[in-house]
Structure 1
Amino acid sequence: MAAFVGAVKVNSVSSSAVFHIGDSYYIQPISSAKTYAGGGSFNTGNGINVSLGQSKTIVFDQDYID
């Protein structure tokens, strides 16, 4: 089904971003990244209380390529 899109304003698009409007069959990003972080690392908000006994982040990648 066709998409009807009104006015679109794009302020900026980063170098590895995908900008898409309307129908598409396949979209693939140009780059990817892997991020390692321990337990409770990406919490955001007000009054967060994180209690970790023992935490371990394993960063060994057996195949070296994803």
Structure 2
Amino acid sequence: MPAIVGPIKITTVSSGAVVQVGDSLYISPKTTAKTYSGAGAFNTGDFLQTNNGISLTNTLDSDVFDSNVKQNN
């Protein structure tokens, strides 16, 4: 069913948000990210105990493009 929508002003869209106005057949948001972290960096919970002797994170990235996101296909 078609929708009639008036003027819209979006000032800020936080990371990962999807804004849909009116009818839509297929929504496919695309995003990429690269994160570097050491051992035990993403541990969450109560009463954690991590024992890391040596933690080295290799941030050398020889390729230019990792994940290409082109248009909305």
TM-score if structure 2 supplies the norm length? 0.52
Identity %: 45
Structure 2 residues without counterparts, runs of 5 or longer: 1-12, 20-25, 67-73
- Which letter maps to 2:51? S
Structure (1 or 2) with the larger CA radius of gyration: 2
Measured against aligned partners, the alpha-carbon deviations of 1:1-48 in whole angstroms (never above 9, x if no partner) come to xxxxxxxxxxxx7464458xxxx6xx451x311111000001000000
Q: Which runs of 5+ in 1 are unaligned?
A: 1-12
The answer on 1:41 being equivalent to 2:41 is yes
1:64: Cα distance to partner?
2.3
> How well do the aligned residues superpose, as a CA RMSD in angstroms?
2.9
